[in-house]
Structure 1
Amino acid sequence: MSTKIKLGLFGFGCVGQGLYNVLNQTEGIKAEIIKICVKNGSKSRSLPDHYFTLDKNELLNNSEINVIVEMIDDPAAAFEIVKSALKSGKAVVSANKKMIADNFAELHSLQQEFNVPLLYEASACASIPIIRNLEEYYDNDLLGAVEGIFNGSTNYILTKIFKENLDFDTALRQAQDAGFAETDPTLDVQAFDPKYKLCIILAHTFGLFVNPEEIFNYGIQNLSTFDINYAKEKGYKIKLVAFCRRLEDKIIAGVLPRFVKPENKLSAIENEYNGILVESAFTEYQFFAGKGAGSNPTGSAVLSDISALTYNYKYEYKKYNRNKLEISNDFQIEVYVRYSTRKSIDLSLFSNIKETYTNADSGYIVGSISFGELRNSSWINRSDVNVIVSAENKFVLNNKTGTTVAELHGELA
Structure 2
Amino acid sequence: MSIQQKQLNIGLFGFGVVGSGLYKVLQQTPSLNAQINKVCIKHPEKKREAPGDLFTTNAELLLQDENINVIVELIDDAEAAYHIVTTALKAGKAVVSANKKLIAEHLPELLALQEKHNTPFLYEAACCASIPVVRNLEEYYDNDLLAGVTGIVNGSTNYILTRIAEDKLDFQQALLQAQIEGFAESDPTLDIEGIDAVNKLSILLAHAYGTIEHPSAIIHSGITQLQEHDAIFAKEKGYKIKLVAQARKQPNGDIAAFVLPQFVDQGCQLYGVGNEYNGVVIESGFADKQFFYGKGAGSFPTASAVLSDVSALRYDYRYEYKKLRTQKVKLTTDFYLRVYVSFEGLFHVPHERFERIEEWSSNDKRCSVVGIIHFSQLLDKGWWKKKNASLILLPDAFVDRLPEKVTKKEDEAVFA
Conserved 8 A contact 1:331-1:397 = no
Partner residue in 2 for 1:239: 242
The separation in 2 between residues aligned to 1:164 and 1:294, in whole angstroms, is 22
Please report the TM-score for the alignment, with normalisation by the length of structure 2.
0.93
Partner residue in 2 for 1:409: none
Q: Secondary structure at the match of 2:207?
A: helix
Conserved 8 A contact 1:16-1:299 = yes
Partner residue in 2 for 1:112: 115
The separation in 2 between residues aligned to 1:80 and 1:343, in whole angstroms, is 51
The separation in 2 between residues aligned to 1:100 and 1:397, in whole angstroms, is 36
Matched to 2:379, the amino acid is R
Partner residue in 1 for 2:279: 275
Conserved 8 A contact 1:139-1:318 = no
Conserved 8 A contact 2:346-2:362 = no
| Alpha-carbon displacement from aligned partner over 1:212-247 (angstroms, at most 9, x marks no partner) | 111111111011111101100111111110000110
The separation in 1 between residues aligned to 2:289 and 2:395, in whole angstroms, is 19
Which of these residues, 203, 212, 222, is aligned with residue 219 of structure 1?
Answer: 222
List runs of 5+ in structure 1 lacking aligned partners: 401-413
Q: Secondary structure at the match of 1:310?
A: helix
List runs of 5+ in structure 2 lacking aligned partners: 405-416
For 1:1-400, what aligned pairs fall within 5 Å after superposition? Answer: 1=3, 2-139=5-142, 142-247=145-250, 248-341=252-345, 344-396=348-400
The separation in 2 between residues aligned to 1:61 and 1:395, in whole angstroms, is 55
Percent identity for Structure 1 against Structure 2: 50
The separation in 2 between residues aligned to 1:365 and 1:172, in whole angstroms, is 28
Conserved 8 A contact 1:195-1:215 = yes
Worse-superposed segment, 371-380 or 280-289: 371-380
Matched to 2:135, the amino acid is R
1:395, distance to aligned residue in structure 2 (A)? 4.4
Point out 4+ residue stretches in structure 1 off by more than 6 angstroms. Answer: 397-400
Q: Secondary structure at the match of 2:31?
A: coil
Matched length:
400
1:132, distance to aligned residue in structure 2 (A)? 0.7
- C-alpha change, 1:184 and 1:343, in structure 2 (3 Å) is farther
User: For the aligned residues, what is the CA RMSD?
Assistant: 1.6
Q: Secondary structure at the match of 1:124?
A: helix
**Structure with the higher helix share, 1 or 2:** 2
Conserved 8 A contact 2:143-2:209 = no
Q: Secondary structure at the match of 1:356?
A: strand
Q: Secondary structure at the match of 2:205?
A: helix
